[in-house]
A and B are shown apart, each in its own frame.
Chain A
């Protein structure tokens, strides 16, 4: 019978105490692992999602709000800007690509975004990667749409299906349906693991046509940040016929566009890619200083906004992490308490082993091995549980933050944490091991 078997036997003899001690180590480790994994993965996902967006031009207001609503589809857009802003930017010689975004309604909580076909044909969401379709084709006509892979998974929509959007950017029980405007699915996007997997893209004209957006006000007001960011004219009469009359149109409903007054054509944001990085600062400064063709807007770099956001979140994260470290330390101390308390009860057992020829160092190693096994199993299971927690929470996190996390990204820090916990477990076991080592044999037999 090996020392290891003796140790396992000792631990199983005190099942409840061993289990609870292991559990405390497990919880502490799992807590740290899950916090670190969520932080790492969220930051990476945020950074990655924002990399394709060099510059975003949107209405003046909070740059973080503009980033979150445009890139991550979180929260409400600041306001709308005149379509003219987009046209001016598109025609600027320094601009390589300008894509308009207008937030429309939603279908089962999936936002409908009005844009141009360039989001599929030109835009690279990560360097060298464009959005691709797993089935169907890009929208061509008004009220045609391409749905994200998550939308297809969650709603069951597929190419050829029709759906009706609900009013507003989020579903609620009494949301009004635009039953007179059915969208048709013409394509489904391949999964990109970006927030755009959960949105529906349609032509900008489709969104305008449904809403006949109100004229743009120059100044942003707090009220403009509420759920309704646009005035909705439900009494409007659509001059175009129903969706079946779009069959042979190459351009997207130009006839209806003509009937929408110029001051009602709006965009929520414009995604900009520049011909050269040298134009970057100048254009941004011009827009932000209101020196670009008289437009009233702001230009932001999403990656920088995300960095600033994480700098703020990072402080809270550090506090959480600090608390988790304390939990692990308390858990490791519980190993000490748990083993130390048993030494008095085990003095006779220790003396018997000594009488059978066990040396003091044999007894010392048995106790150290007990601490090692508790901390090893506790921290390894904690590592697994930490990732499992993140994996199980990932749908919720994805829904709340718009970023995809898997719980399956591993970090060298975790190796340090697990090995550190094991080493601490061994170190604290030295105290009860010394007590066991000193047990007097003759008096305890």
Chain B
């Protein structure tokens, strides 16, 4: 499903010096696998996720999703690819505030070229928000907002779901519920899950765990 080889990404500092942030020789995630990645802050986990999602083009290397090396794609091709194949859940939810719950889901569909209101309603029902579809997202609790984000990320049935600290802004109870929901949905839909967290309790819920610092051999 996801295969990464010789991935390198460098940042330029304001004084024009280059810093290596990612240096990953090999990484693999099979179809329907669910993996939790942990590591200290600043270790490059979010950059890793951004490279896989195609939001950032890495300096070099290969990122194959469903056999498609996204590093070779142009920016607009990566945008299109992402809309169909990769769902992303963020720590701060990243919902469109002026739009309703239902509109947020539909916008998630829009850029992949689909408009299936019935499917959107089904997903909302799955995350338990069918009664709040007309609510503006700002009116929802944090847990509910993250549910909307989950629904939006999976509405296009992506092969890969990337979750970057999805419970960082939630209380324990909500964190549990959200992790359960993400894991269940991914199992139901055969979606591969790559979840980043620094929460040890959440980490324990995953059989497949990876220390990011062992994976990423940053060069100084």
Contacts and interface: CB of A to CB of B under 8 A. Distances in A.
Given A357-B111, A359-B79, A442-B56, A13 B98 contact: yes
B53 interface: yes
A348 interface: yes
B107 A354 contact: no
A357 B80 contact: yes
Interface string A330-358: 00000000000000000011011111111
B174 interface: no
Given A1-B103, A9-B98, A442-B55, A358 B111 contact: yes
Main secondary structure of the interface of B (DSSP, over half): helix
B76 A359 contact: yes
B168 interface: no
Contacts of A351: 94
B208 to A, nearest CB: 25
A3 to B, nearest CB: 8
Nearest to A5: B103
Size band of the B side of the interface?
A: 20 to 34
Main secondary structure of the interface of A (DSSP, over half): helix
Contacts of B50: 442
A399 to B, nearest CB: 50
Nearest to B107: A1
Interface stretch (B60-68, B82-90, B179-187, B209-217): B82-90
A313 interface: no
Given A12-B98, A356-B108, 20 more contacts: A1-B107, A1-B109, A1-B115, A6-B107, A9-B99, A9-B103, A13-B98, A352-B94, A352-B96, A353-B96, A354-B55, A355-B82, A355-B88, A357-B80, A357-B84, A357-B112, A359-B79, A360-B75, A445-B90, A445-B94
9 contacts: A6-B107, A6-B110, A9-B99, A353-B107, A354-B55, A355-B88, A355-B90, A360-B79, A442-B47
Interface of A: 1-3, 6, 9-10, 12-13, 348-349, 351-362, 441-442, 445
Shortest 8 CB-CB contacts between residues of A and residues of B = A357-B83, A357-B111, A13-B98, A1-B106, A359-B79, A359-B76, A358-B111, A352-B94
